[in-house]
Amino acid sequence: MNTHRKWFSGGIIVTIVALLASITLVFGQKPSESTQKPAASAVQSDTASSKSTEVAGKDAKGTSQATTEQELPRTLEGYVEQEKPFYDYLKQHHPIFQYEKEGRLVGKYQISDREEEFVEFGGGKAYAKEHNRQVAMTYRLGMESILDLPNKFVGAKKCGECHPAQYEKWERSRHAKVVRFPDEMEEIPGKDLNKGLYGTKASVLPEGITPDAIFAVIGTPRTKYGFIDGWLVRGTYHVEGGLLKDGTGTLVAGGNQHSRHWAESLTPAMAQKIAAYVPGFPTKLEDFGGNGSSVWGMTSYGASNRKNMLFQPASSYCEVCHTFKFDYKSQADLIHDLGNPVALRSHVVNKGITCEECHGAGAHLYGARGAGMPSNCERCHQRFAWNADEAKQNPKKPFSAFFKSKCPSCGTEGAQAYNTTHYEKGIRCGTCHDPHEVTQNDWRDAYTVPGLKKKCEDCHAEQAEFFKENEMHAGNDCTSCHMPVLMSCENFNTIQFPDYAGFDNTRASHIWKILVDPEAKTLNPPEGKGRDYKDGAWRLAKKDGKPYLDLMWTCGRTSFSDGNVLNGGGCHSMAQSVLPEDERFKNQKQIYDKVMEWETPVKNGVAEAKASLQKINSTLPASKLGRTQKAEIQVMVNQAQDIINAIQKDASWGVHAPTYTLQKVNQAKLLVDGAQAALAGQKAQVVAKKQ
């Protein structure tokens, strides 16, 4: 980042010298002292073709002065450079540095800024080296950041004045709840954010962090709760033996995030149950290592317990998706209120994924800056990664889903879908999803049911026709198998066991295609690494350039955030299922063998019928049978062919409806037998019965 700033600073000096020279040439004199602007305390510097803004004099806690702007398009480097004044102030005044100075800091911090998050993340640094150009690999950046001040945001309620139907859907969705002030935590008993939940000591806020020391809570009861502190820095720490608000005690890395599914569902008893069939699964608090803490149900996220943590302002991470906007008149005014969460909250005009995050500030209102769609779902849900070896295998589709550990990270739905046939055929998020009703069920639930405009059966009529005849799973939804929950929201590496389809999985995959194979896995370590690899990011497997779901994730997964599993009797999970022991799957081979029981007779029957039909079709035209007899045979042939066509279009080979599909195969064979008998001159009556 220093390289960019040195280059840029040099560029500014050259530009100013050239400008002064041109003024002298045109007017024949130097600018007078009275025409020069006062020195700026904070300069937002953007590179070529970007927004150049001068924020005039203001001390750390001084009064704001005039702001001069020249509106030009801002490019990636402009976003990176914009953060500097904000960051410089934090590095001088944030409490973490005082704790460090006084020797009351446990664990090391790593500075994480926009350079790292926007430019280097997800293989971006390696991509830039390979292609000689920088990219924001993992994030699609918003049109305006929290540092763009003044802005023209009016707030979601104003949008709702003319769009009440959309507003009401949005208001009850999780998009409206992902950033909340402490007094808005209505699902928490008594709104006590320091009291343990689900019978544990794990509270919304970690030890030593009180509601009056934070700006906002990040997250919903589906998965987790984190916090942004009163300095607009991501909370990657807790405080022992004191309180953050008083600057007392010891600031400790990690132990910072409440995990619902750990606290509520992954109890010590459940951990023991899982460990009985998953070697190495943690059962004691100390087994959770860097992901854990001293409290069951409290994870270390963006940190490693007592070892290290990110020092990460909201401007470089949180605001990309869990965003908010202020009504300050300048960045200097915002900086003035850092450390005063009450003052910061009083200036919030928007928080969460609001109308204007997609439609722009003020949207289509008169005098607004928005209108159109400056952002869409891909901003938060298409987090890419680039790996050189994968890019070489498929140069036309060099990008894949972003991983932090063994499971795809949250927000990678669009990155998964990017390489699918659905995407190639033009299907996008908005094809199926209602963007205003992202949560159709109660947002307090531990799982999500999205509001949909289209469902699978609207396009896949043949499959729906077979599936409704399924005697075992007809009450399930297509997504039960084709969209298993396998994405991680917590990077809880300690409990990620992909070969057992669990256990840090909270969001639905967007891959759809199931590969019937006894061994092939959806999630794999980098080439050359063993399946015990845990020192870096895994990969999404592909076949013929397309990602696929393995049978374990499809049928045998364990998830405490999957509505299909929770409402389906635990499906076939070893840990959650209510089914008999022999219908709970502990490995992929079990599932494969069961699928083969369904597929094999169907495939054999179809192959046999097709061979017979081919023979009949080649013989019938030359036969000496009368027209009436030929017509009767042709009717049977056509009926048999229709059945075969339907089975082939369904393409599940019996999995969608085992008994029904086999009955259809037998009907086709009966018709073929009748046609063959008639063609051979035998008098036969074919009575079509539904078997």
Every domain of the chain and the residues it spans? 2-84, 95-121+149-375, 379-435+450-586, 598-679
In the predicted structure, residue 54 carries a pLDDT above the cut 70? no
Return the exposure string of 584-608: e unless at least 16 CB atoms fall within 10 Å of the residue's CB, then b.
bbbebebbbebbeebbebbeebbee
Cα–Cα distance measured from residue 27 to residue 246, given in angstroms and rounded to the nearest whole number: 59
In the predicted structure, residue 71 carries a pLDDT above the cut 80? no
In the predicted structure, residue 91 carries a pLDDT above the cut 60? yes
pLDDT bucket at 689, cuts 50 / 70 / 90: very low
Per-residue confidence (pLDDT) for residue 133, from 0 to 100: 93
Residue with tokens 């019978």: 199
Cα–Cα distance measured from residue 241 to residue 235, given in angstroms and rounded to the nearest whole number: 17
Per-residue confidence (pLDDT) for residue 51, from 0 to 100: 38
The mean of the pLDDT values for the chain is 89
CA neighbor of 318 nearest in space, from 158, 132, 117? 117
Cα–Cα distance measured from residue 76 to residue 97, given in angstroms and rounded to the nearest whole number: 29
How far apart, in Å, are the Cα atoms of 452 and each of 26, 43, 134, 509? 63, 45, 36, 16
Q: What is the DSSP letter of 234?
A: B
DSSP track, 481-513: HHS-EEEBSS--GGG-BGGGTBSS--EE----P
Instruction: Decide if 605 contacts 641 (C-beta within 8 A).
Output: no
- Interhelix angle 658-679/588-619, rounded to 10 degrees, is 20
CA end-to-end span of the chain: 72
| Backbone angles phi and psi of 386, in degrees to 5 | -125, 125
Strand partners, 289: none
pLDDT bucket at 3, cuts 50 / 70 / 90: very low
Helices (H) and strands (E) in the chain, counts: 27, 24
Average pLDDT over residues 365-381: 89
Q: What is the DSSP letter of 378?
A: H
Lowest average pLDDT, out of 2-6, 378-382, 431-435, goes to: 2-6
In the predicted structure, residue 586 carries a pLDDT above the cut 80? yes
Per-residue confidence (pLDDT) for residue 184, from 0 to 100: 98
Per-residue confidence (pLDDT) for residue 260, from 0 to 100: 97
Q: Strands, DSSP E only, in 57-130?
A: 67-70, 105-106, 108-111
Q: How far is C-alpha 49 from the geometric centre of its chain's CA atoms?
A: 32
- 544-576 tens-digit pLDDT: 999 999 999 999 999 999 999 999 999 999 999
Within 341-493, residue ranges assigned H as helices are: 341-346, 355-359, 378-381, 388-393, 413-417, 421-424, 429-432, 456-459, 461-467, 479-482
Average pLDDT over residues 495-499: 97
Instruction: Decide if 558 contacts 576 (C-beta within 8 A).
Output: yes
pLDDT bucket at 145, cuts 50 / 70 / 90: very high
Per-residue confidence (pLDDT) for residue 70, from 0 to 100: 58
- 512-549 tens-digit pLDDT: 999 999 999 999 999 999 999 988 999 999 999 999 99
Say if strands 308-311 and 108-111 run parallel, antiparallel, or are unpaired: parallel
| Backbone angles phi and psi of 596, in degrees to 5 | -65, -30
Cα–Cα distance measured from residue 338 to residue 89, given in angstroms and rounded to the nearest whole number: 9
In the predicted structure, residue 197 carries a pLDDT above the cut 80? yes
Cα–Cα distance measured from residue 499 to residue 521, given in angstroms and rounded to the nearest whole number: 7
Instruction: Decide if 555 contacts 563 (C-beta within 8 A).
Output: no
In the predicted structure, residue 447 carries a pLDDT above the cut 80? yes
pLDDT bucket at 43, cuts 50 / 70 / 90: very low
In the predicted structure, residue 58 carries a pLDDT above the cut 90? no
Average pLDDT over residues 17-35: 37
Average pLDDT over residues 258-267: 97
pLDDT bucket at 616, cuts 50 / 70 / 90: very high
- Residues of the chain with pLDDT > 90, as a percent, come to 83
Per-residue confidence (pLDDT) for residue 29, from 0 to 100: 39
In the predicted structure, residue 152 carries a pLDDT above the cut 90? yes
Return the exposure string of 290-309: e unless at least 16 CB atoms fall within 10 Å of the residue's CB, then b.
bbbbbbbbbbbbbbbbbebb
Q: Strands, DSSP E only, in 201-249?
A: 214-218, 224-229, 237-240
Instruction: Decide if 585 contacts 555 (C-beta within 8 A).
Output: yes
Lowest average pLDDT, out of 33-42, 141-150, 549-558, goes to: 33-42
More confident residue, 6 or 592: 592
Query: Taking CA 544 as the corner, what is the angle to CA 602 and CA 379, rounded to the nearest 5 degrees?
Result: 115
Which amino acid is it at 491?
A: N
pLDDT bucket at 669, cuts 50 / 70 / 90: very high
Average pLDDT over residues 52-68: 42
Per-residue confidence (pLDDT) for residue 371, from 0 to 100: 78
Per-residue confidence (pLDDT) for residue 369, from 0 to 100: 84
Instruction: Write down how long the chain is.
Output: 691
CA neighbor of 438 nearest in space, from 161, 163, 142, 178? 178
Average pLDDT over residues 15-33: 37
Cα–Cα distance measured from residue 351 to residue 336, given in angstroms and rounded to the nearest whole number: 20
* Non-local CB neighbours of 358 within 8 Å, separated by 6+ positions: 373, 374, 375, 376, 435
3-state secondary structure of 253: strand
Cα–Cα distance measured from residue 295 to residue 468, given in angstroms and rounded to the nearest whole number: 46
Average pLDDT over residues 411-432: 96
Per-residue confidence (pLDDT) for residue 69, from 0 to 100: 54
Per-residue confidence (pLDDT) for residue 72, from 0 to 100: 75
- Residues of the chain with pLDDT > 70, as a percent, come to 88
40: enclosing H helix or E strand: strand 40-44
Per-residue confidence (pLDDT) for residue 576, from 0 to 100: 97
Average pLDDT over residues 507-514: 97
DSSP track, 647-691: HHHH-STTSSSHHHHHHHHHHHHHHHHHHHHHHTT----------
User: Which token pair is 583?
Assistant: 């219908």
More confident residue, 55 or 421: 421
Q: How far is C-alpha 503 from the geometric centre of its chain's CA atoms?
A: 17
Per-residue confidence (pLDDT) for residue 372, from 0 to 100: 83
- 460-489 tens-digit pLDDT: 999 999 999 999 998 899 999 999 999 999
Cα–Cα distance measured from residue 4 to residue 83, given in angstroms and rounded to the nearest whole number: 13
pLDDT bucket at 73, cuts 50 / 70 / 90: confident
User: Which token pair is 244?
Assistant: 């953050």
In the predicted structure, residue 654 carries a pLDDT above the cut 60? yes
Lowest average pLDDT, out of 20-34, 200-214, 233-247, 416-430, goes to: 20-34
Q: What is the DSSP letter of 573?
A: -
pLDDT bucket at 370, cuts 50 / 70 / 90: confident
Average pLDDT over residues 443-461: 96
Q: How far is C-alpha 674 from the geometric centre of its chain's CA atoms?
A: 55
3-state secondary structure of 333: helix
pLDDT bucket at 422, cuts 50 / 70 / 90: very high
Per-residue confidence (pLDDT) for residue 180, from 0 to 100: 98
Burial of 425 (0-12, 13-18, 19+ CB in 10 A): exposed
More confident residue, 131 or 33: 131
Average pLDDT over residues 20-27: 38
Cα–Cα distance measured from residue 604 to residue 529, given in angstroms and rounded to the nearest whole number: 39
User: Which token pair is 513?
Assistant: 């295609």
In the predicted structure, residue 651 carries a pLDDT above the cut 70? yes
Burial of 347 (0-12, 13-18, 19+ CB in 10 A): middle
Q: What is the DSSP letter of 525?
A: P
How far apart, in Å, are the Cα atoms of 299 and each of 90, 224, 290, 384? 25, 9, 9, 25
* Non-local CB neighbours of 92 within 8 Å, separated by 6+ positions: 60
